[in-house]
Structure 1
Amino acid sequence: MKTLKSLFRFFMITILSSVIIVLFYSCEKPISDELYLEDSVSIEESLPWQDLLSQLDLGSEILFVQQDESIQDVVDAAKSGSVIYIEPGNYQEEISIDKLDLKLIGLGLTPDDLIIKNAEKSNIEIINLYDQSGFDNLQNKSFNSGKSSCLNNMTREDLGGGIAHYQFEVVMGPGEFDVVRIHRVVRESRAYKPVRTKGHVFMVHGAIQDFDDVFLTAGAETIDAKTSSSFYLASNDIDVWGIDMGWNMVPLETTDFSFMQGWGIEKDIDHALTAMSIARLIRGLTRQGFSRMNLLGFSYGVQIVYGAADRETQQHWFRRDIKGIIPVDYAFKYDNESLQATACSDADYKEYLLNSPQYQDDRGAGFMAFANLTLNAPNDPSQFNSSLTNLQFFMANTSQVFCAGNQDEFFYTDPFRFIRQTVNIAPYWPMQIFYEVSACGCPTRDVTFDDHLGEISLPILYIGSEIATGEAGIFSSSLTASTDITNHIVPGYSHSDLWLGYDADQLVWSPLRNWLKNHK
């Protein structure tokens, strides 16, 4: 019963946020200790692997041949037009290629670590990452198929303590907002030289949030291993990656949302999986190998985690990017009839809005305004309830649902940190996604990204907060075929406490780190 009530309160955030918006607008271990650190640097000033990255074709399907795998097997699994990258190893096999426009590229890290029988005969180009002279002729090589490289921009920022934050802006399609931002937070021996890591994770943010809001800064005034989950993981030799979805790029002043028509969860899954392939490529270029990656999703990101894993059950092994999944504090499916009924009712309403038509959900804009008002005048009487201050009203309406507490205190999180986080959220996200999240939990509604849930056999770590989704999220993993499932419920915590809490490093990030090191 406690779990039911907690999940119901979590589900009620949809209603709560709508009311607030209406009210507001009606009222007007490192390899080396040597560190060479620099400030944010643009792609033009970057080191050779960066130059190489800008020359490679990121617009085609990317596949990988890892050590002890067969090049021919990957060729057979590839589609015409794919690019296949070959990890260092000794490949003594005859290769037959009968597909159009298939590109094979071998990456050598040392002079003797890559041997491919009849590489030239098989039209396999070799890039020797140890040989600087090899980069001098990049413009004369046919690495790029003629398609846009898709890489718009790249920056590197020193976060201190030997931790760097990279951002890669990548075009995913023809639309103005068909673009994602890929993040990497990693420990370095010196600038642009990541240490050999001991685990990896690709992190997907929740609704109306981005990577920085949840996993990097998350409202903190100082980023360190106590305040930032990605910094903590990187300082413990985890290679941390993440994504900002295209709808994060939509500015507040936007008035025409027709581009959001049909923008559903499948599109975000496309973007997430493509971003993971690019992350695997960059890991290989920076001497981490091409291993498949663990995919973490928080809140709405749980839909992406299960949906992407669902899709990959129908793909050849060599075309898969996911090694394990980590759903965090959301229920993909419900085993409770009352919650199923609520999901169905919610889906009905959102379908009505879509048909109006209303293609955007603007809760983010309302929350941003609400948080800005509180941050700028926390002790002023609230225009919504004069018996409370702005801070008290904000805390009363966000406690339990987001942070455990009440109108006078948050038990585990600094309320002003949560407010600063809220100020920076995304103003809009697609209504189609909002509808599909509810439809997924409704037994009478059909969505396309849950058809093969029972075929998922990947390792699963479920992390839940007791006050929000709690144990309800365990049911979803029980529907899979996985034989490696770990459940970690954090006592007392609510939804946002998992990333903002004073002791989140001990209660949440440490167990996550240990799981990642055991599932690398």
Structure 2
Amino acid sequence: MFRIGLAIAVLVACAPALASPLARIEAEQLASVGTPLAVKREHVTDDIYHYQYDIRVGSTPNARLRIHRVVRELSPWRPRPTRQAVMLLHGDFANFVTNFVPSLGNPASSAPGLAPYLASRGIDAWGVDRRWTLPGDDGDISDLGDMSVNQAIGDTSVALAFARVMRTLSDRDPGRIVLGGFSHGAQLTYAYAAADGRHISAIAALDIYYDIAPEDADLRELACANAAAGRDALAQGVTDSSNSLFITAGQLARSAPDETSPLFPSYTNHGVLLTLSGMTWLLAPYTPLYHLSAPIFDADGNVEGLRESSEDIVSAWFASAPPHQSMRETADFDDIWCGTTPRPELAKIRVPLFYLGAAGGFGDHGLYSTTRVSSTDVTTLVVRRFGPERVAEDFGHGDLLYAADAPTLAWKPLAAWLLRH
């Protein structure tokens, strides 16, 4: 840690004199990175390792970032140099590990993980956990109400600066990095590129919309109603958008699948998992038939199984969710969708863009946002199994990360695009 901190200090002092592009990293931002509070290294698979750095970014209980790196090694603590790098932002009820390296989660998942896949193909995979994933000492969440999208944009910039410094040390490559995200992490990716844009060479948005198409006015109305409800909750002092539903559903599906659910007594715990993941639109209709996992329906229209992601993987995803999430951030994201308050505008984005959707998730509804940027290099792909008449059964939002065929259908084209950008 001392050697990392010393190297960062030297780079800060020398930044104004260094050649482009490192000289464009603001010296004060590098100074704010500071020395990691803790560094962790753990094995993932083959010669791929996961590094974890905790960075203090303020004095409040949760004012720290957890920055991740998944990369091939030449030897212990010596990453194999790469020419391409990506920073991945996680979605709701998740962190970097549970979304992108789920085999290291608690409970551990059998899903291979997008980050190790990218690392195996010569792409340096980074990530950062938002502050609400890291409760302070004794679970202190007294600063949860301050965790806004604007704060997350600033934290993302710090994480990107840190990654560029570390790549300068290990790879002799201070170049800009692709910023990518899944779900609300992808919405944050859009927001960062439109509001800040430092440190990034391109963006990859996995299954989200930012601007809602005119023909989807009902989805905008829903977002406006949700934003208003979130603001009302904040006004009443509610700062925690709890993830207890997902945690409990995942844990009980694993430990007592055939028992009656305490969450929804008309279902078993197994049935709650299937319904929550396969008919997610009943609780969160981000699109008319939005679902996390592609369902298999019985003759009565109930979910009897999952088509793409195994039940064990989905239950591990749910059970490993962080307990807390910021109500303010949630309301901010809904405000962006509502479009009635000032927000970063997509027209300010000029870097290359790759949109990867899931037909049963945000899917085609996310394509409109890609037409609103000023980029001349835009690539889109929506993973689908069926025609529009079977969208309720098609590839789901979470299937982009957890499906057995995700490496072939989703990750391979993403990796190919990253290697070109």
Quickly name the TM-score band, shorter chain normalised.
0.7 to 0.9
| Structure 2 unaligned residues grouped into runs of 5+ | 280-290, 297-302, 385-393
- Following the alignment from structure 1 to structure 2, what is the Cα–Cα distance between the partners of residues 62 and 367? 46
Instruction: Quote the offset at 1:488 in angstroms.
Output: 1.0
Partner of 1:493: 395
- Following the alignment from structure 1 to structure 2, what is the Cα–Cα distance between the partners of residues 418 and 434? 23
Is the 8 Å Cα contact of residues 154 and 166 (structure 1) preserved in structure 2? yes
- Does 1:390 find its partner at 2:390? no
Is the 8 Å Cα contact of residues 169 and 180 (structure 1) preserved in structure 2? yes
What SS does structure 2 have at the residue aligned with 1:261?
helix
- Does 1:459 find its partner at 2:352? yes
- Following the alignment from structure 1 to structure 2, what is the Cα–Cα distance between the partners of residues 518 and 66? 30
Partner of 1:128: none
- Following the alignment from structure 1 to structure 2, what is the Cα–Cα distance between the partners of residues 180 and 82? 14
In structure 2, the CA distance between the partners of 1:195 and 1:481, relative to structure 1 (3 Å rule), is same
Partner of 2:248: 369
- Following the alignment from structure 2 to structure 1, what is the Cα–Cα distance between the partners of residues 246 and 276? 11
- Following the alignment from structure 1 to structure 2, what is the Cα–Cα distance between the partners of residues 211 and 165? 11
In structure 2, the CA distance between the partners of 1:148 and 1:473, relative to structure 1 (3 Å rule), is closer
Structure having the higher helix fraction is 2
Q: Which amino acid aligns with 2:81?
A: R
1:302 is aligned, of 186, 208, 223, to 186
Q: String of CA shifts for 1:388-417, please: whole Å, max 9, x gaps.
A: 421022212221421011421100010121
Q: Which amino acid aligns with 2:164?
A: R
- Following the alignment from structure 2 to structure 1, what is the Cα–Cα distance between the partners of residues 333 and 33? 33
Partner of 1:431: 327
Partner of 2:162: 278
1:358 is aligned, of 223, 238, 248, to 238
Q: String of CA shifts for 1:5-46, please: whole Å, max 9, x gaps.
A: xxxxxxxxxxxxxxxxxxxxxxxxxxxxxxxxxxxxxx5xxx
Partner of 1:512: 414
- Following the alignment from structure 1 to structure 2, what is the Cα–Cα distance between the partners of residues 352 and 235? 46
In structure 2, the CA distance between the partners of 1:287 and 1:298, relative to structure 1 (3 Å rule), is same
Partner of 2:88: 203
In structure 2, the CA distance between the partners of 1:507 and 1:63, relative to structure 1 (3 Å rule), is farther
- Following the alignment from structure 2 to structure 1, what is the Cα–Cα distance between the partners of residues 260 and 21? 68
- Following the alignment from structure 1 to structure 2, what is the Cα–Cα distance between the partners of residues 63 and 272? 23
Instruction: Quote the offset at 1:257 in angstroms.
Output: 4.3
Q: Which amino acid aligns with 2:352?
A: P
- Following the alignment from structure 1 to structure 2, what is the Cα–Cα distance between the partners of residues 70 and 493? 40
Partner of 1:312: 196
Instruction: Quote the offset at 1:55 in angstroms.
Output: 2.1
- Following the alignment from structure 1 to structure 2, what is the Cα–Cα distance between the partners of residues 295 and 301? 10
Is the 8 Å Cα contact of residues 61 and 135 (structure 2) preserved in structure 1? no
- Following the alignment from structure 2 to structure 1, what is the Cα–Cα distance between the partners of residues 163 and 21? 22
- Following the alignment from structure 2 to structure 1, what is the Cα–Cα distance between the partners of residues 172 and 220? 43
In structure 2, the CA distance between the partners of 1:387 and 1:306, relative to structure 1 (3 Å rule), is closer
Larger radius of gyration: 1
Q: Which amino acid aligns with 1:405?
A: P
- Following the alignment from structure 2 to structure 1, what is the Cα–Cα distance between the partners of residues 169 and 21? 20
Instruction: Quote the offset at 1:159 in angstroms.
Output: 2.1
What SS does structure 2 have at the residue aligned with 1:290?
coil
- Following the alignment from structure 2 to structure 1, what is the Cα–Cα distance between the partners of residues 193 and 13? 18
Q: Which amino acid aligns with 1:361?
A: S
- Does 1:177 find its partner at 2:55? no
- Following the alignment from structure 2 to structure 1, what is the Cα–Cα distance between the partners of residues 249 and 399? 20
Is the 8 Å Cα contact of residues 461 and 486 (structure 1) preserved in structure 2? yes
Is the 8 Å Cα contact of residues 62 and 277 (structure 1) preserved in structure 2? no
Instruction: Quote the offset at 1:374 in angstroms.
Output: 1.8
Partner of 2:153: 269
Matches within 5 A, 1:110-259: 149-217=34-102, 227-250=112-135, 254=139, 257-259=141-143
What SS does structure 1 have at the residue aligned with 2:52?
strand
- Following the alignment from structure 1 to structure 2, what is the Cα–Cα distance between the partners of residues 311 and 64? 23
Instruction: Quote the offset at 1:57 in angstroms.
Output: 4.8
What SS does structure 2 have at the residue aligned with 1:408?
strand
Q: String of CA shifts for 1:305-343, please: whole Å, max 9, x gaps.
A: 111111226xxxxxx201100111111110121111111
In structure 2, the CA distance between the partners of 1:59 and 1:253, relative to structure 1 (3 Å rule), is farther
Partner of 2:341: 446
Instruction: Quote the offset at 1:382 in angstroms.
Output: 3.0
Is the 8 Å Cα contact of residues 309 and 456 (structure 1) preserved in structure 2? yes
Instruction: After the TM superposition, list the runs of 4 or more consecutive aligned residues in structure 1 that deviate by more than 6 angstroms.
Output: 58-63, 65-68, 77-80, 219-224
- Does 1:480 find its partner at 2:373? yes
Q: What is the CA RMSD across the aligned residues, in angstroms? A: 2.8
Is the 8 Å Cα contact of residues 157 and 164 (structure 1) preserved in structure 2? yes
| Structure 1 unaligned residues grouped into runs of 5+ | 1-42, 44-50, 84-144, 314-319
Is the 8 Å Cα contact of residues 181 and 188 (structure 2) preserved in structure 1? yes
2:212 is aligned, of 326, 330, 334, to 334
What SS does structure 2 have at the residue aligned with 1:310?
helix
In structure 2, the CA distance between the partners of 1:63 and 1:296, relative to structure 1 (3 Å rule), is farther
Query: How does the TM-score come out when normalised to structure 2?
Result: 0.85
- Following the alignment from structure 2 to structure 1, what is the Cα–Cα distance between the partners of residues 25 and 308? 49
Is the 8 Å Cα contact of residues 456 and 482 (structure 1) preserved in structure 2? yes
- Following the alignment from structure 1 to structure 2, what is the Cα–Cα distance between the partners of residues 392 and 62? 58
- Following the alignment from structure 1 to structure 2, what is the Cα–Cα distance between the partners of residues 64 and 262? 32
- Following the alignment from structure 1 to structure 2, what is the Cα–Cα distance between the partners of residues 423 and 250? 17
Partner of 1:402: 292
- The 10-residue stretch of structure 1 (215-224 or 379-388) with the greater mean CA deviation from structure 2: 215-224
Partner of 2:318: 422
- Does 1:53 find its partner at 2:4? yes
What SS does structure 2 have at the residue aligned with 1:419?
helix
- The 10-residue stretch of structure 1 (192-201 or 260-269) with the greater mean CA deviation from structure 2: 192-201
- Following the alignment from structure 2 to structure 1, what is the Cα–Cα distance between the partners of residues 50 and 266? 44
Partner of 2:390: none
Instruction: Quote the offset at 1:267 in angstroms.
Output: 0.5
Q: Which amino acid aligns with 1:347?
A: A
Paired-residue identity, %: 24
Q: Which amino acid aligns with 2:180?
A: L
In structure 2, the CA distance between the partners of 1:261 and 1:397, relative to structure 1 (3 Å rule), is closer
